[in-house]
Every structure is written in C-alpha cells, then in structure tokens.
Amino acid sequence: MAQVRNNIIIQGLSGSLGSQLVIKQDKAGRTIVAVPPTIDPNRVYTAEELARQEKFRDAAVYAKGAKGQEAYVDKAEGTPMTPYNVAIADWFHAPEISEINVEAWSGGIGQTIRVQAVDNVQVTQVNVVIMDTTNAVLEQGAAVQAEGAWWDYTTTATAEAGAKIAVTAMDLPGNIGQLEVGLV
C-alpha cells in the first residue's frame, strides 16, 4: 500500500471521482483512495452468511449503546478506531484465561488461587469453581482483581487430591472465556 505524506493535491480531499474512485479521510487524517464497492443485486446469501450478518447486527446494536463507555473511549484514543469500532471488536472477542496458578494452594481454606485473564478491552469478572473427583461443587465464588491481568480467589473449603478448578472470565459485552484444570 502506497503512503503519501504532505501531498497538497489530495490532502483533505473526499468524495468520488466519477464512478471509478472513492476518496475519504480516516480518523487519523489519512487519505484513503479506493475503488467503489460493487454489489450484485441478485446475490443469494448462504445460511452461514445470513447468520454472520445477524451476529454483526447484534454487535452494532450493542456498540451503539456502549460506545460512550469509558473503556471503549480510552482504548480508541490515539488510534484510527472510534469507540464504536472498539465496541464492535469487543463484541466478537471473548476473554481468554492464560493461566491458573495454584502454587500457593494445597487444598486448604484461606489459600489463594491466581488467575490471569486477558481481553482485547477489559475483563469485568472472573469466577472460580472447585469440584471434587465426582464433579460435585465444593465451593465457588468471584475472584478479586489484583495487579494487571491477575485475579485472586481465596478458598473457603478444603479440597482433596484430584480436585478440579473451572474458571470463567467475562468481558463488557458478556462474552465468556473458560478454562478447567485438574489437580493431581
């Protein structure tokens, strides 16, 4: 892609040149010159394409209401993206749990389980469920945000060898990321 800087002929130009070129400015002040899109009026969409369009409509509805949220405004600042664009991207991106750190936990009460959860904008909630070998829930609760992407959960019950930890993380649009680990 060619980049032109300080060109007095196209700087600040927008519109179209006949039906052959479209010229527009992005948020960063860059001039974009492109061929206009062509759409076949007789196109038949597949079920997969229609489902994708429906998901994008849902994302657009979410983004219209959420674009004023501080997290989206902050994330868009200094980039060519608008808060609306950031909210759309967040709608399609679930948080990820990078690590469940159980080094400080031996199955006792009052010990800490650390969870590292990341998202493209913000993780809003992390929940921990501890289960025994038969998948019966021993305890569950919300973790507390620590430094950076780390969340801390303090245990309230004892767990035997073979227990499992299931962690879920939620972001602003309500997307959920999950990770489960078994302990020996």
Average pLDDT score, the chain: 90
Residue 184, pLDDT > 60, answer: no
3-class DSSP state of 124: strand
**DSSP H or E segment with residue 91:** helix 83-91
Q: Which residues contact 177 (CB under 8 A, 6 or more apart)?
A: 94, 95, 96, 97, 117, 119, 168, 169
> Tokens 């800087």 sit at which residue?
5
Report d(CA 155, CA 110) in Å as an integer.
5
Say which residues have a Cβ less than 8 Å from residue 107's Cβ, sequence separation at least 6.
Answer: 158, 159, 160, 161, 163, 183
The token pair at 113 is 């389980």
Q: What is the pTM of this model?
A: 0.79
User: In the predicted model, is pLDDT for residue 3 greater than 70?
Assistant: no
Q: What is the DSSP letter of 45?
A: -
Correct CATH for 96-182 of 3.40.50.920, 2.60.40.1220, 3.40.50.880, 2.120.10.30: 2.60.40.1220
User: Of 6-10, 84-88, 168-172, which range is least confident?
Assistant: 6-10
- Quick one: pLDDT at residue 26? 79
Residue 10 has pLDDT above 80, yes or no: no
Reference 173, options 123, 115, 127, 118; nearest CA is 123
Give SS3 for 102: coil
Could you tell me the residue ranges of all domains in the chain?
47-91, 96-182
Q: pLDDT tens across 52-107, in order?
A: 999 999 999 999 999 899 999 999 998 889 999 999 999 999 999 999 999 888 88
Question: What's the N-to-C CA distance of the chain in angstroms?
Answer: 54
